[in-house]
Amino acid sequence: MIISPGNVVIPTIDRLTMDVKHGASRYNNYGCRCVVCTAGNAERMVKVRQKLKTKRVPEHGYSGYTNYTCRCDVCTQANSDYQKSYREQKVNANTR
């Protein structure tokens, strides 16, 4: 059990004693980062990315750049804008 800064009790899962097979589903569903789960997730993501590459980009922008590896001017600019705002947010969060 974890108590957050606002004194809210957050239940936790004891990931070491769970009786679940390791692999991609455990990586995603339970947050396990062991070698088996990481490798299983990497293998799954290769298949997902290959499948997405065969599909047409539904909407150009940040998701087209990240999910469909589209590198057109619109998607590249959207990714640049996102990364810039992300860096600014991190800098602003660290200066507080």
Over residues 72-84, the pLDDT tens digits come to 999 999 999 999 9
SS (H, E, C) 15-37: CCCCCCCCCHHHHHHHCCCCHHH
The enclosing H or E element of 34 equals none
Q: Apex CA 44: angle with CA 43 and CA 46, to 5°?
A: 65
4, two tokens: 């957050």
Over residues 48-64, the pLDDT tens digits come to 888 887 888 888 999 99
Give the integer Cα–Cα distance in Å for 25 and 37.
8
Give the integer Cα–Cα distance in Å for 95 and 57.
38
Q: Is the pLDDT of residue 14 over 90?
A: no
**Which of residues 11 and 29 earns the better pLDDT score?**
29
Q: Is the pLDDT of residue 67 over 90?
A: no
Those residues with Cβ within 8 angstroms of residue 72's Cβ, 6 or more apart along the chain or in another chain: 60, 64
Q: Which residue has the tokens 């810039």?
A: 84
Backbone phi, psi, residue 21, to 5°: -65, 145
Over residues 15-41, the pLDDT tens digits come to 555 556 777 777 777 778 888 888 888
